[in-house]
Amino acid sequence: MRNEGAIVTLSETASSIAEAVGGGSKTAETAARLLPMLERGAIYIDKVAEELDCSEKEVRDAIDRLRQYGAEIENAGKGTLKFRYRRTRYEVETDWRPGKSLAIVKVGDERLALKVEMTHTGYRIRWRGADMNVMLISKRQAQYLSLMPEKVAPDTSKLLLCPMPGLVVSIAVAEGEEVEEGQPLATVEAMKMENILRAEKKAKVAKINAAAGDSLAVDEVIMEFE
């Protein structure tokens, strides 16, 4: 069986949405409006994947898991999923199949064109510039997930990271040198364009990890500061 559940778990708070998709308040508003539709559309997308990849019994098991969340399945025919969720009746239609990067999903009277990419936990769905990571897990898995400690992002305030895969054209400073805010530190060429990386604040260069001619991956350390 391709995955162990068939339900979408997404944060429904505006702050979490904004943090998840980035792009400021406009993107957050777009994501907030899209959230309920994504929730229902992704449920159907997973139903289609289960239908093609699993046995008939496993498909029934997946639908049973949907019922754990209060979804009353009325019809799960080919191309259409009708169900009641949170006291509201929904009808979802799509011709999407696993492997296709574009999903045309009709939720009620609204038609959505979603870009779909499979991930190891579910799907990444894009709509009007808003990226949503949709996790498909069972109710029990969701309960365990809520108990997991929050992963703290590493402190990169004293590092100059390569913002994109590219070639180091030049390093403009030396180890031990004090730099001012806005001062050029390095130049990286990517897609035939040179990008000048500047100091975000006053600092002292502690170590230079890259040299002209080096090919760097995204987020690779170019230099360190004290």
pLDDT, residue 153, reads 78
Same fold, 8-145 and 159-225: no
Out of 2.40.50.100, 1.10.760.10, 2.130.10.10, 1.10.3720.10, the CATH code matching 159-225 is 2.40.50.100
Amino acid 202: pLDDT: 92
CATH number of 8-145: 3.30.700.30
pLDDT value at position 129? 64
CA distance linking residue 81 with residue 140, whole number of Å: 24
Quick one: CA torsion of 118, 124, 125, 131, rounded to 10 degrees? Answer: -160
Q: Can you give the pLDDT at residue 167?
A: 95
* Block mean pLDDT (10 aa), the chain, length 226: 34 36 42 48 48 44 50 55 63 71 77 79 72 68 76 86 92 95 93 90 94 93 95
pLDDT for 56? 44
DSSP H or E run through 153:
none
Determine whether 172 is exposed, middle or buried from the number of CB atoms within 10 Å of its CB (0-12, 13-18, 19+): middle
pLDDT of residue 146: 74
In 3D, which of 163, 159, 166 has the Cα closest to residue 215?
A: 166
Single-letter residue type at 76 = A
Answer whether 0.75 is exceeded by the pTM: no
Domains of the chain, by residue range, sit at 8-145, 159-225
